[in-house]
Chains A and B, each alone.
Chain A
Amino acid sequence: MAKVSSLLAAELKQSEEFNAEACFHCGTCTALCPLGYKIIPRKLFREVMLGLEEEVKESVPEIYSCLLCRMCEEYCPAEVHIAENMRYLRKYVNKKEFKLL
């Protein structure tokens, strides 16, 4: 059974720019991403919004390999701040996992 953390989304929502909840999973970002990952970032955003902290931690390599190139954002119909959201996930992992500030 998945373990839900209410703190995850609450902590990330401290930034007004973090707007993963705007994603409606159309897949445009996935199709455009130069990395070619099949599920990122939309699956990741869904996990964040559901508070699935363990699943998010499993995606650490994907979180840090985002190029922040904004190709996905250029065509995102929901205007999700994808690159900034990914950077905020890094900030969260840095603090929680790596003890980096």
Chain B
Amino acid sequence: MPLPIGPVLGILSDNLRKRGSVLPLSRRKATGWSMGLNIPHGGETVLYTGLMYQLIPSIEALAGMMALFENSAITRLFGVGRFANRFINLSFFMAMTVSREMSRENDQVLRNIAGMLKLAGVEFGYLYDQELYSGALIFDEGMDESFGAHARRVFNMFHKNGVRSVITVDPHTTNMLRDVYPKFIPNFDIEVNNYMEVLAEKGLPVIQAQNKELVIHDSCVYARYEGIIEQPRTLLSKAGVTVREPELAGKSTHCCGGPIESLFPTKAHEIAVNRINQLKEKGENIVTMCPICQVNLRKAAGEGCTISDISDTLAKAYLS
């Protein structure tokens, strides 16, 4: 049996409403990346992680479980599971197999981004444990009432902290705040910039040129929703990287399959394999800029193929 869509979405929506996040995330896991960086609390401009990089290991653990459940008899129990999840946080147990290595790697992404912004002279703060998830998954699945209520909570969080402008680090959070929130919150007045837009404009000097070739995988949301195409190429090229373009790139980029990983894991994997094959035609070292793309493509990559977040290469060039 395929995964039951209604109960799975119900669990995610209940979690967002009752617990403020689609999946559990401890305070330590949410804010641990910032330890020792001395980022001020709050301020007019804040780095808003939207918890995406921190949540990915939990989402992956959940997706792994879902792949096991798909086409098994367990799918019949999801209705009961949703009922029980209202009282006991079941997704906490489902996400117990979270990869520490992945958490460490994603924390480093955020540390690198914060470090580069500091070096570029950007003054920013961070909301630490007050920070909330953007609600992107709930919006994508069409649960607009739950999403709208959550978006207002996020807006109030910014408002009460006096935030006027945010710097985002992933495509989904960027799109939610820049294009979706204003449709749900008429007085949404917060300026939204993505870190790659900020860094490309600031123009950091290169400390250690990265003389290598990387095949670029554009995120669908960055490229087609937000028009962020040139900035990653500018930053990589200035860093000394030769950017190899797959046949489907920029506005014509091909999806990684990640958005349907929780409900249709088999189909998601097929799409990732197709995309990996396209990318491999240009080389074995691939650069991504979205944590969802990265994990989904990695599962399809096979040996000898590396997939790294763009911030890793940029940090080696601009921070080292």
Contacts and interface: CB of A to CB of B under 8 A. Distances in A.
Given A65-B264, A91-B144, A74 B255 contact: no
A67 B251 contact: no
Contacts of B252: 71, 74
A43 interface: no
A89 B271 CA distance: 23
Interface string A65-101: 1011111011000000000000111111110011111
B143 interface: yes
Contacts of A98: 5-6, 9-10
Chain B interface size range: 20 to 34
A67 B141 contact: no
Interface string B105-148: 00000000000000000000000000000000001111111100
A63 B57 CA distance: 27
B142 A74 contact: no
- Chain B CB count within 10 A is highest, among A88, A90, A93, for A90
Interface string B224-235: 110000000000
Nearest to B140: A68
Contact of B271 (A61, A67, A73, A87): A67
A69 B146 contact: no
B273 to A, nearest CB: 11
A77 to B, nearest CB: 16
Interface residues of A, number: 26
A34 to B, nearest CB: 5
Contacts of B205: none
Contact of B9 (A34, A35, A88, A94): A94
B230 to A, nearest CB: 17
A34 B272 CA distance: 10
Contact of B267 (A35, A69, A74, A88): A35
A34 B257 contact: yes
Interface string B34-75: 000000000000000000000000000000000000000000
B18 to A, nearest CB: 14
A98 B78 CA distance: 13
A34 B146 CA distance: 29
A64 interface: yes
Given A67-B260, A69-B224, A61 B255 contact: no
